[in-house]
Structure 1
Amino acid sequence: MKNIGFLSFGHWSDGRGSQTRTAADALLQSIDLAVAAEELGADGAYFRVHHFARQLASPFPLLAAIGARTDRIEIGTGVVDMRHESPLYLAETAGAADLIAGGRLQLGISRGSPEQVIDGYRYFGHVPAEGSSDAELARAHTTAFLTAIEGTRFAQPNPRPMFPNPPGLLSVEPQSPGLRNRIWWGAGTRATAEWTAQHGMNLMSSTLLTEDTGIPFHQLQAEQIQRFRDAWRLADHGREPRVSVSRSIFPLLNDMDCAYFGGRPDDDQVGIIDNAKARFGRSYAAEPELLVEQLRTDEAIAAADTLLLTVPNQLGVDYNAHVIESILTHIAPALGWR
């Protein structure tokens, strides 16, 4: 059995064929798709976070709205760029969204992907310390955030507060029990996956890795997952971790599916990300019988407990619900995911 959810970038544009033409469209359609996915039996609704772009950027109003409209489905991010975040405010908003959803938040965080602007985190008021990097800034913010959601009491109370305080130091509020165990780190390398395990976060692995050893992407990603699990066992956090991978998967069931996704390249791609060689995983698009055989050989999907389906959100709620239903109906049972 696998947890199967969708991952949306939340693009909007007024280009030809777009069903998502404004920011309001992107937000409201995201809520509607999460509701539809829950009704179809999917397990998760996840959203990318990109700043300075016509894409979803501030996730917590959206996640809270989905939490209030749904009952069962997990809601999450993939990923929040910690270079841009105020750790304590993030702890407050994450705690509130999780309480509204009844403990269903699965929060993916990370250093983030290449930006739309140069050093965008500086516009948010965050600057790396002298001699440190933006990656170190993200990890410092992460440490402060994790400390806050663990309920650490660190703030000196005012001796004459507006409202009575409990005795002792104060913590960030609201606290949401169990949220700390539902934090994921988006790891782009094998070494970062080991760091993720050491710090007690679940592993979120995308459709690319910012390293390349010459082997197929799914095998490199499976190696990343194994190194994460090995490091987790050594750290002994007292619970089992979760691992997600993302994939673009499109069963070709009708003429529209073929028009949109037939003939897509079915090989890995190698490129450059942040001045480093990166390997991008292939997309899967074929008739269901062939698709099942192709996916059966994907070692990283087999190693993960959660599969996030990247959806083309600008094709509209109805079409994306069709894609999700196609996978749940025609693909998942044949592979033992359901």
Structure 2
Amino acid sequence: MTNYLDFEKPLAEIEGKAEELRAMARAGEGVDVEAEAGALDKKASELLTELYRDLTPWRKCQVARHPERPHCKDYIQKLFKEYTPLAGDRNFANDHAVMGGLARLGDTPVMVIGHEKGNDTKSRIERNFGMARPEGYRKAIRLMDMADRFNLPVVTLVDTPGAYPGKGAEERGQSEAIARATEKCLQIGVPLVTVVIGEGGSGGAVAFASANRVAMLEHSVYSVISPEGCASILWKDAEKMREAAEALRLTAQNLHKLGVIDRIIKEPLGGAHRAPAEAIDSVGQEISRMLEEMSGKDRDALVHDRRQKFLEMGSKGLAA
């Protein structure tokens, strides 16, 4: 059963009516409904195109958070061969909100790291809804160090509302762990590419995304704070999240214009959750292209280009 977002309710009604007609036909009621159902399908397709033609920033946030959107685990299973998960930070624990391990993208050995939100109640609790604790970031640091030692490109998949803000996480040095992970991204002498596949929230996302190349799916978001958090701080009213989403300029289109990200990966009509296999394939092709662009560059060039990219960030948008 499809999970419809608030702004998709008219679409839900049309698609529901078409399914009801087909259910009547399957029940053997002797009614030829295919022509009428086909007309409803056409109407639904036209409405879907209209709804997604020019999504507002807030609606993009809703699409980016859709529960059926492909998550890190889905990308790893479909895109990477011979995935060998590596666990633990060798200090405190293994954080299930962060996945990572050795794998092959085609014939290229890589280290893949990403946030995993989970896809049902049990897995979401286990994964802490994709909100990493300090041990998650320290695990990522360990894996990036390993990739650097063995000259393996690093691929990171970002999908988090932000780092976990709980008491235990703060006691174990959450901000320090995020800062160290961001520093490690800027230090390693191997290609580092990032794709924001859903939410890119705050420093929890930057810790994986200080990369040579950063791409975003068309309806993903990337911001210093959630719209609800921003609205709570600025207006003392979380219901002003729509205005906050506009002000934050968190969409892939805004960020590409500002030079914060390098490219936008087109999603299937209606979002990645409507055609997961197609979305995952598009991401895989873009990762391969980004890695190919950096092939042949030496360690010093990769580090210099990455640091320069972040020093110049925002200048493109300001100049415009």
TM over 0.5: no
Greater relative contact order (Cα 8 A, min sep 6): structure 1 or 2?
A: 1
TM-score, normalised by the number of residues in structure 2: 0.34
TM-score, normalised by the number of residues in structure 1: 0.32
